[in-house]
Amino acid sequence: MSRYRPRTLALELSMIAVALLVGFPVYVLVNLAVRPASDNSSPISPTSSPTLDNFSQAWQQGALGGALANSLLVTASSVVIVLAVSSLAAYPLARITARWSRGTYLLVLLGLVLPFQLASLPLYQTMRDLGLLGTPWALVLFYSGLQVPFTVFLYVGFLRAMPRDFEDAALIDGCTPLQGYRYVVLPMLKPITVTALVLNTVAVWNDFFTPLLYLSGSAQQTMPVAIAGFVGQYVTDWNLIFAALVISILPVLLIYFLLQRSIINGFAGGLRG
């Protein structure tokens, strides 16, 4: 990098100003979440007598513990399933060069363009007939299929750029194809698996439309839907709502700051995939 000049200092200061502007909503969020309802001063002036009461009240009244557990269950199960089936499927899709294999791959890629709004209404009816509506399993099933095209796309791209010698050696050495996949191919897929893990986790955890449809009216909610319900219920009690928002953001940001390097690389990794 070039030397630190006065111009660099000016750039540094303006970048920090931008970061402060981006962070401004977070300041207000925390500032109002710790403010008692009786305090009517301006939202940007620091709260004079902060309290944590809003948090315990929001936690209990919003049933946020249950929502957090549901979100964890849905996200963990869907992501594990989608990574397993997609990496397994990508192996022959990347290696078999027959026309039917290429055709199948193109069919899977079609899923990247189809907006889920098209499938979600007919699928709503199927889920209802199967008795899955209102259960987290409807969501696990949904994400396990919905995320296949994108995840297969990442894996196939990575596999095609990878030499075949190791897997060939394993198969010649008498491994069954499944063993070759499990002990040779899968370990070599680790970098792209991290990318796929990060992108799928964020997509599933943050999704709102699908649980709004498939869990509506049920006591089982994921975090985004529980928050929407909470906002609808406590319309004007913004201090309480902000406490609920903080509770829902906190685990996400905590994990983000702990694993920021892998997460940012995961997002940027889609570029090379």
Partner 1 sequence: MTLAPNAQLPDRDHSPDPAPGTPPRCARTTPPWWFMAPALLLFAFVVLIPSGRGLYYAFTDWDGLDPDFSFIGLDNFAEMTRDTDAVQAIWHTLLIAVSITVVQNAVGLLLALGVNSAIKSRNLLRVLLFAPAVVTPIVTAYLWRNLLGPDGAVNSLFGAVGLDGWRQDWLGSPDLALWTIVGVIVWQYAGYSMVIFLAGLQSVPQEVHEAASLDGAGPVRRFWSVTRPLLAPAFTVNLMLSIIGGLKLFDQVYALTGGGPGHATDTISTLIYKDAFTLGEFGYSIALAVVLTIIVAVASTGQYALLARSERAAS
Ranges within 63-102 binding partner 1 (CB under 8 A)? 81, 84-86, 88-89, 91-93, 95-96, 101
Within 105-134, the residues that bind partner 1 by CB under 8 A are: 107-108, 111, 113-126
Beta carbons of 222 and 135 less than 8 angstroms apart = no
Q: Rg of the chain over CA atoms, in angstroms?
A: 24
Q: Residue 157's closest CA among 270, 264, 233, 64?
A: 270
Count of residues that bind partner 1 according to CB under 8 A: 108
- Per CB under 8 A, contacts with partner 1 among 166-185 are 166-168, 170-175, 177, 179-181, 183-184
- Rounded Cα gap, residues 55 and 222, in angstroms: 18
Within 203-222, the residues that bind partner 1 by CB under 8 A are 205-206, 208-209, 213, 216
Q: Looking at 149, 153, 200, 240, which residue binds partner 1 (CB under 8 A)?
A: 149
Residues between 219 and 258 that touch partner 1 (CB under 8 A) = 223-224, 227-228, 231, 238, 241-242, 245, 248-249, 252-253, 256-257
Question: In the complex, what is the shortest distance from the CB of residue 12 to partner 1, in angstroms, rounded to a whole number?
Answer: 4
- 204 contacts 143 by C-beta, under 8 angstroms: yes
Q: Which of 191, 203, 190 is nearest to 75 (CA)?
A: 203
Is residue 134 within 8 Å of residue 214, measured between CB atoms?
yes
Cβ 66 to partner 1 shortest distance, Å: 17
Does 58 interact with partner 1 (rule: CB under 8 A)?
no
Give the burial class of 243: count Cβ atoms within 10 A of its Cβ; 0-12 exposed, 13-18 middle, 19 or more buried: buried
Q: Does 25 bind partner 1 (CB under 8 A)?
A: yes
